[in-house]
Amino acid sequence: MAPWYAWAPWGGEFQVARLLLQRGIAATYLVAFLVAARQFRPLAGEDGLLPLGQYVERYEFREKPSIFYYFDSDRALAVGAWLGVALAAAALVGLPGRFGLGAYLAVWTAMWALYLSFVNAGQTFYGFGWESMLCEAGFLAIFLGAPDLVAPAVVVYLFRWVEFRNMLGAGLIKIRGDDCWRELTCMDYHYETQPMPNPLSWVAHRLPDRFHRVEVLGNHVVELLVPVLYFGPPRVAAAAGLATVGFHGWLMLTGNFAFLSFLSIVLAGSLFADAVVAGALPVGASLPVPDPETLAPLPLWFQVAIAGLVVLVAALSYYPVRNMVSSSQAMNRAFDPLNLVNTYGAFGSITRTRYELVVQGTDDAVVTDDTEWKTYEFPGKPTDPGRRPPQWAPYHLRLDWQLWFAAMAPSPARHPWFVHFLAKLLAGDDGARSLLRTDPFPDDPPEHVRALRYRYEFTDLDELRETGRWWRRERVGTYYGPVSLDDSRFRLQLQRRGWDVPEPDGEPDGEPAAPGATARVADAE
């Protein structure tokens, strides 16, 4: 008779599910650590847009635990990120499990602790729901065990619990939120106004209105009804898994959502029992896992640890469940400092108009009506109307995403990091420049910078063919500037937040343009 920890309701074993979860989470970790290695230091490092010291000063370790609370240097960040890359690459090819349960636990625990450290120290730039989801999934993955052991079914069901909260939370926040979800019109706007469109977003936006109505209705079915089936019999759960994979696959095809959809597809791997997978294989084919008869039972101490995990998750689920059923549901919130059990949701409201910030600089020492402005380009977000929206997901362009949020407001009052970003461009900071696609000032930094605010819309097919432009745009105001390092008020604004301000060349002019005021300059397209 199989031991209690191998039992699952309605039968079924989960070696395939374990394999899918382990390799999928390892792949997600690999992408996430690569992002940290390339972006964390200019965003939230020692001299980042939101300096690491602000995290250390603002929080106690127990509030947001991170190894970078004590090792708060760029060198430590680099070591942590590249160590995470190496561990994730090893886990992706299954290397830790070949050396037994001890090695497996060491590698997966280290990855979880490292990534949690980046998330808790990353401040605004790591404030996304998929960060806490990766922390939660990464913690559960520690308890999946090495491949030569029986796959603990109860842990697989805990993954289903994560996916359930992920999908149902997103469905509930929509029904309770924007009217367009109830009126079935949200997809009329979504593809054009989502944070970072991809090459197929333009095509999806131009699909017939009737198709968009069916899309929204399908969204409600997959997010509100299908999750209940996750805990059904094996074939029912597998069918629900296919629906979930298809749903998030469409999102990946039509938008850049970092690793949200990719990780959601990975979690859906928990819905496929071995018996169902084996039944779908061609005659004579075998499962890509060891014969169950060759697997060893889990050590008793590991069984006890899993039992403790179940109790812990049950206890920590109270607040996420209460939030999910509340009429005032919060979206994407962690209720414990380790991000072990969280609440999720996405797009509770849909923006009807797309605004973009266009950042420009000039070599002119004095800004006049004849000033020639040069435009900075970013890797993912729209700037040049003639550039086709690129594909980046599951890689996460964190600055580009935050620029989408910043553009929603007419000034950077709620996004002070943006002012710091402009100061770094004026100083020719290598870290800030590494976040750009193109820098129009490769040799010497500009004398002045400014940020304009535009309204963007997708072109139609005729306009795309005629002009080659994917976007049409209209300027709606000046978001910030123009400013230079000589501007005393600009420097004071930076100093009040404790940011280092490079010394200007020459004497301060004493009369800067007021931040947010409309500049008397030519609009350079």
Confidence of residue 85 (pLDDT cuts 50, 70, 90): very high
Q: Residue 517 above 80 pLDDT?
A: no
Segment 245-261 mean pLDDT? 96
**Which residue's structure tokens are 């069918």?**
239
Per-residue model confidence (pLDDT) at position 500: 75
What are the pLDDT digits (tens) for 444-476?
999 999 999 999 999 999 999 999 999 999 999
What are the pLDDT digits (tens) for 378-390?
999 999 999 999 9
Smallest Cα–Cα separation from 309: which of 157, 523, 490? 157
pTM of the full predicted structure? Answer: 0.92
- Beta-carbon contacts of residue 469 (< 8 Å; ≥ 6 apart): 385, 386, 459, 463
- Beta-carbon contacts of residue 216 (< 8 Å; ≥ 6 apart): 180, 181, 184, 185, 186, 187
Per-residue model confidence (pLDDT) at position 515: 41
Per-residue model confidence (pLDDT) at position 202: 97
Q: Which helix (H) or strand (E) segment is 472 a member of?
A: strand 471-483
Distance CA 5, CA 251 (A): 36
Per-residue model confidence (pLDDT) at position 503: 67
Please state, rounded to an integer, the average pLDDT across all residues of the chain: 91
Per-domain boundaries in the chain: 14-342, 355-496
- Of 300 and 290, the structure prediction assigns the larger pLDDT to 300
Per-residue model confidence (pLDDT) at position 293: 79
φ, ψ of residue 234 in degrees (nearest 5) = -50, -45
Distance CA 219, CA 241 (A): 15
What are the pLDDT digits (tens) for 264-274?
999 999 999 99
Share of the chain above pLDDT 90, in %: 83
Segment 293-318 mean pLDDT? 94
Confidence of residue 4 (pLDDT cuts 50, 70, 90): very low
Per-residue model confidence (pLDDT) at position 5: 42
Q: Residue 518 above 60 pLDDT?
A: no
Segment 116-120 mean pLDDT? 98
Segment 486-505 mean pLDDT? 79
Query: How is residue 20 written in tokens?
Result: 């899918």
Distance CA 452, CA 360 (A): 8
Segment 413-432 mean pLDDT? 94
Distance CA 234, CA 275 (A): 8
